[in-house]
Amino acid sequence: MSLMTAEEFKKSLQKMKVNAYWDGKKVETLSAHPVTRSVVEATAKLYELAADPQQEGVMTATSHLTGEKINRNLHVNRSTGDLERRADMALLTSQTLGTCNYRCVGCDALNALASVTVEMDRVKGTEYSRRLNAFLQRTQEKDLAVSGAVTDAKGDRAKRILEGDPDMYVHIVERRSDGIVVRGAKMHQSGAFCAHETLVIPGGALRKGEEDYAVAFAVPNSAKGITYVLQYNALSAEREKAEDIFYLGNPRFGQRETCLMVFDDVFIPAENVFMRGEVDFAGALIQRFAKTHRMNCGGACKVGFADIIIGAAQLAAEYAGTEKAPHVREAITHMVRISEASHACAIAAAVKGKEEPPGSGVFMPDDLFGNVAKISTAHGFWQIMALAGDIAGGLVVTMPSFQELKNPATKGYVEKYLKAAVPAEKRMRITKVLQNWTAGLHGPGTWHGAGSTQAQMISLHRVANLEAKKRIAKRIAGIED
């Protein structure tokens, strides 16, 4: 067993044939396409980080199944220390990539399944835990990239699952002795087309009668019947057209690339099925996924992104000669305050984590702090981007193309009028980075990633322990019931 290198990862993708479409055209080679290449590069960088002795403690762990060194993205958290390192990994990968750790959702789905399969086996006498561990050992030994699929297409939100088009939620359409056949689609799948496998879990709690939808499984991403329809936006077009990606806002690793992942009657062998009809456990599964993912996504991943924005805003101020102005210093300080408050919540969620269920050996973060981390980030990230936009000035959206620096008719003007305390090109480079964040996709991306805030508000209200707070208030008021 050994960790995969970045080069081995790239080679492994060449062998994997995925049915992926971008802007109405089939993607023939993931590493050659201008947009999918950024996902390949970002994931390859994750493998590179794991091989870096300086990052070993964060990016790798010891497998509880084999005792071997494994990538932390395939690790089941066995202690609060593991939870802390998991959050550290989210921070480090965001700081390094400025885009998704495309193995992140898979890691959190894996942890939720590790916890819930133990419970299902205890109550139902199933053997899901053994199957999951077999899958885990196989992926650990090969160091595979596993993405996570949770969010169903859902369709008309006013309708319950059984009232609308049945395919709006991934479900079982055929039960066979050797496995199941599934149909439906998962939306907004981060980088799935560039991962080896995907872990699929239900997107919400389920009721009796909805057994076909209580399904969790692992599937190779090149499996027959899976189609990927990739996202497309102005930044996709900019990257496709770019003659020199050096001038893009995040040249090598790009945007957070997602896709619609369609399951058109995909066969899943029984050995890879980890939930098959247990509606009474779907709620626990999504809830445990959510609290793990919210700690990482809200209180660590977006903190890493904020570090990039804060650093770029400080540089923009220095390049423009405004860094000593009291309101600029205050804006930068507010950005740090907002970001680190979320970070503190992630650390608290990890430190206050618990074994769940008791005796399983699986550790889950604290629900209250995980939810606060995500809600605070969802609101705070807009503020951070607004403050960065203020510091960067109008140039952040009015800047001309870098091609003008090569155009004899305009080069002199751009160099003369866009220079400030530094030459024009340097100023334009950092402004382009800020444009990528403040005028890019990251506002809604941060808001909805790991669930829209209403979902967290509901969870937070549930775990807030209002009864205890009422008792405290009554004691102060001298009220005795």
Ligand X SMILES: Cc1cc2nc3c(=O)[nH]c(=O)nc-3n(C[C@H](O)[C@H](O)[C@H](O)COP(=O)(O)OP(=O)(O)OC[C@H]3O[C@@H](n4cnc5c(N)ncnc54)[C@H](O)[C@@H]3O)c2cc1C
Distance CA 30, CA 34 (A): 9
Instruction: Select from 116, 149, 275, 301 the one that contacts ligand X (CB under 6 A).
Output: 149
Helix (H, G, I), strand (E, B), or coil: what is residue 325?
A: coil
Spell out the residues 6+ positions from residue 15 whose beta carbon is closer than 8 angstroms to its own.
none
- Binding-site size for ligand X (CB under 6 A) equals 21
Task: State the nearest-atom distance from the C-beta of 307 to ligand X, in Å.
Answer: 19
Query: Does 129 help bind ligand X (rule: CB under 6 A)?
Result: no
Distance CA 46, CA 252 (A): 13
Task: State the nearest-atom distance from the C-beta of 75 to ligand X, in Å.
Answer: 19
Q: Which is nearer to ligand X, 154 or 429 (CB)?
A: 154
**Segment 440 to 479, residues that bind ligand X, using CB under 6 A:** 445, 448-452, 454
Locate all alpha helices (DSSP H) within 125-253, ordered by sequence: 128-142, 234-241
Instruction: Return the percent helix, strand and coil in the chain, to nearest 5.
Output: 55, 15, 30
Task: State the nearest-atom distance from the C-beta of 451 to ligand X, in Å.
Answer: 4
Q: Which is nearer to ligand X, 187 or 420 (CB)?
A: 187
Query: Does 292 help bind ligand X (rule: CB under 6 A)?
Result: no
Query: Does 259 help bind ligand X (rule: CB under 6 A)?
Result: no
Query: Does 148 help bind ligand X (rule: CB under 6 A)?
Result: yes
Task: State the nearest-atom distance from the C-beta of 378 to ligand X, in Å.
Answer: 11
Read off the tokens for 60: 């790798």
Are residues 184 and 260 in contact, defined by beta-carbon separation less than 8 angstroms?
Answer: no
Q: At which residue do the structure tokens 């479409």 appear?
A: 21
Query: Does 329 help bind ligand X (rule: CB under 6 A)?
Result: no
Task: State the nearest-atom distance from the C-beta of 112 to ligand X, in Å.
Answer: 12
Q: Which is nearer to ligand X, 40 or 347 (CB)?
A: 40
Q: Which is nearer to ligand X, 33 or 188 (CB)?
A: 188
Instruction: Select from 189, 198, 221, 342 the one that contacts ligand X (CB under 6 A).
Output: 189
Strands in 332-446 per DSSP E: 354-355, 363-364
Instruction: Select from 46, 113, 120, 150 the one that contacts ligand X (CB under 6 A).
Output: 150
- Residues paired with residue 22 on neighbouring β-strands, in sequence order: 25
Instruction: Select from 96, 111, 190, 198 the one that contacts ligand X (CB under 6 A).
Output: 190
**Segment 95 to 114, residues that bind ligand X, using CB under 6 A:** 105
458: left (phi > 0), else alpha (psi -120 to 50), else beta? Answer: alpha
In total, the chain counts a number of residues equal to 481
Nearest to residue 216, comparing CAs of 287, 110, 73? 110
Contact residues toward ligand X (CB under 6 A) are 105, 148-151, 154, 157, 186-190, 256, 258, 445, 448-452, 454
